[in-house]
A and B are shown apart, each in its own frame.
Chain A
Amino acid sequence: EDQVTQSPEALRLQEGESSSLNCSYTVSGLRGLFWYRQDPGKGPEFLFTLYSAGEEKEKERLKATLTKKESFLHITAPKPEDSATYLCAVQARGATNKLIFGTGTLLAVQP
């Protein structure tokens, strides 16, 4: 069964303290892995799509990486405005319309 597990469930950082969020997945052939940011009471905001192991993508203070079993979202020198829930999802080959989501990591960055 396709599955996504995110860790930690919650993370508290000081402003400027870099860290990483983990997304472990099991899927019968990966078509894509997706990272989203979700603010309270709002819809998820798309961040990155990764397609194959070894791929990396960056956006401002965020960098996403992908291996055959997991993905990391690295946050460099975070600011309070980076506080949000970060969601990871996968799409399997042959299930082209279905995303399997993890339960997310709630990130709080304190000034």
Chain B
Amino acid sequence: SQTIHQWPATLVQPVGSPLSLECTVEGTSNPNLYWYRQAAGRGLQLLFYSVGIGQISSEVPQNLSASRPQDRQFILSSKKLLLSDSGFYLCAWSPTSPTQYFGPGTRLTVL
């Protein structure tokens, strides 16, 4: 069966510091991978998606970037965090079907 991992689970960072969140998927090959952000009282917002190694599509221009160095690894980064980057970050994967399966999430607080 497939398993998706995210770390860290929680993170508190000062404004202006860098960010690196990691997501890995087990038990499947060549999945589509996604990064979402969930802000309080708002729906999940798609940030980036990837259909293969090195292939990244951005949905929302912002202070963040994504990379996919390996088939089942997806990384969300920032060079300098803003207060508005606080939120719950979710990684998801999908097979050939449209259904997406989510990881446990990372709670990011920028102070």
Contacts and interface: CB of A to CB of B under 8 A. Distances in A.
A42 B9 CA distance: 10
B49 A98 contact: yes
A103 B46 contact: no
Kindly list the 3 A-B residue pairs having the minimum CB-CB distance in the complex, ordered from nearest. A101-B43, A43-B102, A101-B44
A41 B107 contact: yes
B100 interface: yes
Given A43-B104, A87-B43, A97 B90 contact: no
B49 A97 contact: yes
Interface of A: 4, 31-32, 34, 36, 41-46, 49, 87, 89, 91, 96-104
Contact of A43 (B94, B99, B103): B103
Interface of B: 6, 32, 34, 41-46, 49, 51, 57, 59, 90, 94, 97-105, 107
A102 B38 CA distance: 11
A98 B34 CA distance: 9
A103 B99 contact: no
Nearest to B59: A98
A32 B43 contact: no
B25 to A, nearest CB: 13
Contact of A46 (B6, B51, B99): B99
B99 A32 contact: yes
B32 A97 contact: yes
Contact of A104 (B32, B43, B94, B103): B43
A87 B105 CA distance: 16
Nearest to A33: B98
B49 A102 contact: no
A54 to B, nearest CB: 19
Contact of B90 (A44, A89, A103): A44
